[in-house]
């Protein structure tokens, strides 16, 4: 017989209790230690938890890679703490989404890694990069808000008008639906053109908004011009009438003196022909006329007398040189 159980049962009981406590502690602590050693902790901020609980799975790019460790309310949001297997890296722009993973409504945390730079352990994914699933509660609240803001009497009036104006012929209704379907097909086929048109319209409106001050000034000036024209309406009317009368008079004059006008135009044409034929002579005359005018101006421009240059003797010096009467000639 075992001496531990026979001779000292109290001590044996204490030992068994201690062993049991150690086993329980080991079962609880060791997995946590292994989890902390082999995983990295991250955080994500959500608008609400929507059924997510501790120990729910965490998937990275669709692959099970971790577990949710805790949830804590932080102001108007919920901070979810989760741990990922060592070796799983996230980018700085990673997203976190709460998804419904089973038909019974169990949630999971899905992480989509994005970004060129790595997200260090302990980092938090901001609420701008998180989302929660749309639930029936959200649908009910939205329907309640819509029904509260709905004008039921106006809705009844609309339905009455539709009913009164709906055709009784089913064939007509069918053709109308076919027309609507054809229209939607045309819109779908020209989707790129419509997008380009809408983009151009948006750019035009943006430009108009940016040039709003200039447009306001232009419209103000246009209003001033139109006001001035309105104030000078009588003057402008008289001016138009005078111009009309002047054009009528000129037309009448030309009509009454057509022969004279033709004769004058013919003479002018003949004169221009003569001038064209003697263009070289006219050019020579003008070239020689300018020095002559300059000589006359120099002779008469100093007073009431003439400044003339003449030889000192009646016989030129070069003749005197020939006969030897003047020395030093070259």
State the residue range of the domain holding 106: 39-140
Q: What is the C-alpha separation between 83 and 113, in angstroms, rounded?
A: 15
Q: What is the C-alpha separation between 68 and 54, in angstroms, rounded?
A: 5
Total residues found in the chain within this entry: 330
Q: What is the C-alpha separation between 16 and 22, in angstroms, rounded?
A: 10
Query: Phi and psi dihedrals of 70, rounded to 5?
Result: -165, 160
Let me know: does 74 contact 101? Beta carbons within 8 Å. no
Q: What is the C-alpha separation between 309 and 307, in angstroms, rounded?
A: 7
Strand order in the sheet with 57-60: 124-125, 39-46, 77-85, 63-74, 57-60, 107-112, 95-100, 130-131
Structure tokens at 158: 């609309």
Structure tokens at 288: 């020689």
Q: Is residue 109 part of a domain?
A: yes
Question: Residue 314's pLDDT is what?
Answer: 52
Q: What is the C-alpha separation between 44 and 151, in angstroms, rounded?
A: 41
Q: What is the C-alpha separation between 290 and 299, in angstroms, rounded?
A: 15
Q: Is residue 121 part of a domain?
A: yes
Q: Is residue 248 part of a domain?
A: no
Domain count, the chain: 1
Name every residue whose Cβ is closer than 8 Å to that of residue 116 and which is 6 or more positions away in sequence: 91, 92
Which among 63, 42, 41, 162 is positioned nearest to 112, based on CA atoms?
63
Provide the β-strand partners of residue 82.
Answer: 42, 68
Question: Residue 130's pLDDT is what?
Answer: 93
Q: Is residue 5 part of a domain?
A: no
HEC per residue, 3-69: HHHHHCHHHHHHHHHHHHHHHHHHHHHHHHHHHHHHEEEEEEEECCCCCCCCCCEEEECCEEEEEEE
Q: Is residue 91 part of a domain?
A: yes
Q: Is residue 69 part of a domain?
A: yes
Q: Is residue 119 part of a domain?
A: yes
In order along its 330 residues, the chain shows pLDDT tens digits of 454 444 566 666 677 777 777 777 666 655 555 555 568 899 999 988 878 999 999 999 889 999 999 999 988 899 999 999 888 889 999 999 998 887 777 889 999 999 888 888 889 999 999 998 765 555 555 556 566 666 677 767 776 766 666 666 677 777 777 777 777 777 777 777 777 777 777 888 778 778 778 877 777 777 777 777 777 778 778 777 888 788 788 878 777 777 777 777 777 877 787 778 877 877 877 777 667 667 667 666 666 666 655 555 555 566 566 555 556 666
DSSP state of 230: H
Question: Residue 10's pLDDT is what?
Answer: 64
Q: What is the C-alpha separation between 245 and 231, in angstroms, rounded?
A: 23
Where does residue 56 rank: exposed (0-12), middle (13-18), buried (19+ CB within 10 A)? buried
Which pTM was predicted?
Answer: 0.37
At 211 the three-state DSSP class reads: coil
Q: Is residue 127 part of a domain?
A: yes
Question: Residue 71's pLDDT is what?
Answer: 94
Structure tokens at 94: 């990673």
């Amino acid at each position: 017989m075992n001496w531990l159980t026979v001779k000292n049962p109290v001590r044996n009981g204490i030992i068994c209790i201690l062993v049991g406590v150690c086993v329980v502690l080991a079962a609880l602590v060791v997995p946590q230690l292994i989890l902390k050693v082999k995983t990295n902790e991250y955080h994500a901020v959500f608008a609400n938890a929507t059924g997510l609980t501790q120990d729910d799975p965490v998937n990275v790019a669709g692959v099970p890679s971790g577990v949710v460790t805790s949830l804590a309310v932080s102001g108007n949001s919920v901070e979810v703490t989760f741990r990922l297997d060592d070796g799983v890296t996230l980018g700085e722009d990673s997203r976190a989404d709460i998804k419904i993973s089973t038909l019974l409504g169990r949630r999971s945390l899905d992480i989509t890694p994005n970004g060129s730079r790595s997200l260090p352990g302990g980092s938090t994914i901001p609420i701008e990069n998180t989302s929660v699933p749309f639930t029936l509660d959200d649908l009910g609240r939205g329907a309640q808000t819509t029904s509260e803001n709905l004008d039921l009497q106006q809705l009844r009036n609309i339905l009455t008008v539709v009913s009164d104006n709906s055709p009784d012929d089913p064939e007509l209704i069918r053709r109308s639906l076919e027309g609507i379907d054809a229209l939607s097909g045309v819109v779908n086929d020209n989707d790129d053109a419509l997008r380009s048109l809408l983009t151009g319209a948006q750019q035009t409106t943006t430009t108009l908004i940016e040039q709003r001050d200039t447009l306001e000034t232009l419209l103000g000036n246009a209003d001033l011009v139109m006001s001035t024209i309105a104030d000078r309406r009588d003057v402008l009317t008289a001016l138009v009438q005078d111009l009309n009368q002047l054009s009528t008079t000129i037309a009448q004059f030309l009509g009454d003196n057509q022969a004279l006008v033709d004769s004058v135009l013919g003479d002018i044409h003949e004169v221009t022909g003569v001038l064209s034929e003697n263009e070289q002579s006219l050019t020579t005359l003008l070239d020689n006329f300018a020095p002559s005018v300059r000589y006359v101006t120099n002779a008469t421009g100093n007073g009431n007398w003439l400044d003339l240059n003449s030889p000192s003797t009646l016989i030129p010096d070069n003749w005197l040189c020939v006969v030897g009467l003047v020395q030093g000639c070259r």
